[in-house]
């Protein structure tokens, strides 16, 4: 069954339809300006994939959405709440956001089930029986119902990442942020994690995904955003951005990603400390 897109579910640019709204976002680390004026939004139920070279600001943008990185300037609004407001209760906002990192960040001394219930009990104040029930539902959801008594060290990397996704889902998030969730995995383990993410998209979960998996971006995303040098260079439906990019920088990046053996040394420019590209 074809996934209902955000455009089908709500009028475009409707204020109530925005799960994430970013305006004039800047982020600098000392003299290094990583984000240089980002404006974009994610509608409720929409899947947006952010692609681009390393150092382009993708992960920093993602981390600014839930204030893991504090923006230098600009506004970020999540589900109608401005997270950049100095008076915001950011912990309350974060309860509505699921985050999956490159590394799995599981507690090694806790079982899989305990990893899924600790935040439910301490943050959401659920009792043990309810937390266990929800955890088991989400473990089944990611295909790991039989692993609840295992410890992280007994699982493969792909299984650990699926546990991390189930942990995030157990907090009943309104939207999910994924920061290159397959980058630390062996190639043969990537498919199972992407399959779980596809199922979430089919269920209508709002997702903002930083990824190098072009097939996932092409097949699952409602919209693809290409970043370079701290700015959005190009964005649109996957068929256009990935299949027929209009900007030369996007074409160069995709050529190198999709056919690494064909790239020449120095073909892709790096980003210098000023945010401008420099050839090496």
Residue 200 banded pLDDT, cuts 50, 70, 90: very high
Domain membership of residue 9 (yes or no) is no
Domain membership of residue 36 (yes or no) is no
Closest by CA position to 117, among listed 101, 102, 135: 135
Segment 46-70, tens digit of pLDDT: 999 999 999 999 999 999 999 999 9
Q: What are the angstrom distances between the C-alpha of 32 and each of 26, 113, 212, 233?
A: 11, 42, 24, 19
Percent of the chain with pLDDT over 70: 87
Domain membership of residue 115 (yes or no) is yes
The residues, ordered by sequence, that sit 6+ positions from 218 with a Cβ below 8 Å of its Cβ are: 224, 238, 239, 242, 243
Domain boundaries, position 254: 43-56+90-258
* pLDDT at residue number 263: 57
In this structure, are residues 268 and 257 in contact, taking their beta carbons and an 8 Å threshold? no
Segment 222-257, tens digit of pLDDT: 999 999 999 999 999 999 999 999 999 999 999 999
* pLDDT at residue number 270: 47
Residue 23 banded pLDDT, cuts 50, 70, 90: very high
Domain membership of residue 189 (yes or no) is yes
Instruction: Give me the chain's average pLDDT, please.
Output: 89
Indicate whether 172 pLDDT > 70: yes
Overall domain count for the chain: 1
Residue 231 belongs to a domain with what CATH number?
Answer: 3.40.50.300
User: Rounded distance, CA 197 to CA 220, Å?
Assistant: 9
Indicate whether 166 pLDDT > 90: yes
| E strand spans, 215-279 | 223-228, 231-236, 270-271, 277-278
């Amino acid at each position: 069954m074809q996934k209902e897109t955000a455009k089908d579910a709500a009028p475009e640019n409707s204020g109530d339809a925005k799960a994430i709204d970013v305006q004039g976002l800047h982020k600098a680390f000392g003299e290094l300006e990583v984000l240089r004026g980002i404006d974009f939004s994610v509608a409720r139920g929409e899947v947006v994939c952010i692609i681009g070279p390393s150092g382009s600001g993708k992960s920093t943008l993602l981390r600014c959405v839930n204030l893991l990185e504090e923006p230098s300037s600009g506004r970020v609004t999540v589900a109608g709440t401005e997270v950049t407001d100095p008076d915001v209760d950011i912990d309350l906002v974060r309860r509505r956001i699921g985050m999956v990192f490159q590394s799995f960040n599981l507690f090694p001394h806790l079982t899989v089930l305990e990893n899924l219930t600790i935040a439910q009990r301490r943050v959401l104040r659920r009792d043990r029986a309810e937390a266990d029930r929800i955890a088991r539902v989400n473990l089944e959801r990611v295909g790991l119902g039989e692993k609840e008594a295992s410890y992280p060290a007994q699982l493969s990397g792909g299984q650990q990442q699926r546990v991390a996704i189930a942990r995030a889902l157990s907090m009943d998030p309104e939207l999910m942020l994924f920061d290159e969730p397959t980058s630390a995995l062996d190639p043969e383990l990537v498919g199972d994690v992407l399959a779980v993410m596809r199922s979430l998209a089919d269920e209508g979960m709002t997702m903002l995904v930083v990824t190098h998996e072009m097939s996932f971006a092409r097949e699952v995303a409602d919209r693809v955003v290409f970043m370079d040098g701290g700015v959005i260079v190009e964005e649109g439906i996957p068929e256009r951005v990935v299949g027929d990019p209009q900007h030369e920088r996007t074409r160069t990046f995709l050529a190198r990603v999709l056919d690494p053996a064909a790239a020449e040394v120095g073909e892709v420019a790096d980003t210098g400390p000023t945010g401008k590209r420099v050839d090496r």
